Amino acid sequence: MKYVIKDNLPKGIIKPTGEFTRKNAVEYFINLINYLNTNGYEIKTYLRNEAKNPLRGTIKVLVDGFYYYVELFAL
């Protein structure tokens, strides 16, 4: 199964592109969480990584008083 990461963040914050395998998607998503956290963004995260279910994740990011989202989901 292939996974994709989409976002509606203002340009220049992150650049998720392409399709990912399950393992690569989890690693990339966790790296995004760490990146946003260390760069001072207020975030709330959710990641479902159960073996029997498809991956699903959300990062809620506060930027200039507005909430934006980064979503991880199966194609």
- Residues ≥6 apart with Cβ < 8 Å to 12: none
C-alpha–C-alpha distance, residues 30 and 35, integer Å: 9
Structure tokens at 38: 């260390």
Q: Which domain holds residue 19?
A: 3-74
pLDDT per position as a tens digit, 17-69: 789 999 999 999 999 999 999 999 999 999 999 989 999 999 999 999 999 99
DSSP 8-45: -PPTTS----SEE-HHHHHHHHHHHHHHHHHTT-EEEE
Q: What is the pLDDT of residue 14?
A: 86
Tally the domains of the chain. 1
| Type and span of the H or E element at 66 | strand 66-74
Query: What pTM does this model have?
Result: 0.89
Q: What is the pLDDT of residue 15?
A: 79
